[in-house]
Structure 1
C-alpha cells in the first residue's frame, strides 16, 4: 500500500468546516442570536476558508480529479505563493480562524471541524507535503494518417468482421459452386 496523503483529507475536512461555519453563521445572524457579531465573523471566516480550500492539490502519484471551476481559484491561490502553499501556515491560519467562532453555539460544529482540519494539515506539513496546482496538459490531437491503419476494402454498408463471408482466396482453393457469367 502507498502512503496516505494527509493534505487531501485535510482539504476535504476544511472545505466542509468552512461550509458548516458559514451555515451556522447565517442561521445565527438571521435568528438574531445573542452574540450575533461572532456569527458575522463566522460567515466571513467560512467564506475565506471555502475560497482557500476549494482548489484541490495535485497528488504525488496517480490522477487528481479537479473540482468544477477550480482553475479560476487555483490562479488566485497561486498568486499568494508560499502563504497558501505551505501547510504549516494553513494549519496556523485555520486554528486562528476557528477560535472566535467557538463562542457561539450555532458555529461551534464548524469550529471543531476546522480545528480537526488544522491538526491534519499540521500532520501533512510534518510529513513534507505542500500544495501544488493541478496543471492542465494540452491535448494532442491525433493525426488522421496515424489513426487509420488499413483502409476498408469493401464498400459500405459493412457487416461486422466476424460475420463477413470469406473471399474465395481465403477459403483455400475452393471454387464457388454457382458460376457467375459475365455479360
Structure 2
C-alpha cells in the first residue's frame, strides 16, 4: 500500500473546517444569537483559513488536480513564504481556532514531521508540435488513387500504374 500524503489530508480537513466555521459564524450573526460577537470572530477566522487552505499543494508523485481559481490564491500564499509553506507553522496557526485543532492542527503535524511542505502547482507550458515533422508528402500519382493497401501490393509485385490508353509521340 502506498504512503499517505498527510499534507493533502490536512489541506482538505482545514478547508472543510474553515467553511464550517464561516457558515456557522454567518448563521449566528444573522440570527443575532446570544454571544453573536464571537461568531463575528468565527467569520473572520473562517475566511482566513479558507484563503490559506484553498490552494492545493503539488503532490510528490502523480498529478494534482488544481481547484477552480486556485492560481490567484496561490500567488498570495507564495507571497508569505515559509509562514504558509511550513506545516509546523500551519499547525500552530490552526490550533487556537475553535473546533479547529482536532480537524486541522493534528493532521498538519504528521505532514510536518515527515518533511512535507506546501508547494505550488506550476502550470507547465504546452509544447507546440513541430509543424514540419507532422506534414505528409503529397501524393505522387493523380486521382483516382487505389486504396493504400492495394498500392502496396502493386509496388511489391513490381507493377506500377499502367496507362490503358497508349500515347503516341508525334
Could you say which TM-score interval applies, normalised by the shorter chain?
0.7 to 0.9
Q: State how far apart, in whole Å, the 2-side matches of 1:175 and 1:93 are.
A: 80
Matched, 1:133 2:127: no
User: Could you report, residue by residue, the CA deviation over 1:104-153 in whole angstroms, capped at 9, with x for unpaired residues?
Assistant: xxxxxxx25x53221000111111111111122222212201223x3252
Check 1:41–1:153 CA distance in 2 against 1; reply closer, same or farther (3 A cut).
same
- Aligned residue pairs, count: 165
User: Could you report, residue by residue, the CA deviation over 1:148-168 in whole angstroms, capped at 9, with x for unpaired residues?
Assistant: 3x325279x999xxx656126
User: Could you report, residue by residue, the CA deviation over 1:58-100 in whole angstroms, capped at 9, with x for unpaired residues?
Assistant: 11111111112111111111111111011011011111123xx
Aligned-partner SS, 2:122: coil
Matched, 1:52 2:36: no
Residue 173 of structure 1: how far off its partner (Å)? 5.4
> In the alignment, which of 151, 154, 157 is matched to residue 137 of structure 2?
151
RMSD of Structure 2 on Structure 1 (CA):
2.8
Task: Give the TM-score taking structure 2 as reference length.
Answer: 0.83
Structure 1: where are the runs of 5+ without partners? Answer: 99-110
Structure 2: where are the runs of 5+ without partners? Answer: none
Q: How does 1:42-121 map to 2 (within 5 A)?
A: 42-98=42-98, 111-112=99-100, 115-121=102-108
Residue 35 of structure 1: how far off its partner (Å)? 0.6
Q: How does 1:15-30 map to 2 (within 5 A)?
A: 15-30=15-30
Q: State how far apart, in whole Å, the 2-side matches of 1:65 and 1:158 are.
A: 50
4+ runs of 1 displaced by more than 6 Å? none
Structure 1 or 2, whichever has the larger Rg, is 2
Task: Give the TM-score taking structure 1 as reference length.
Answer: 0.78
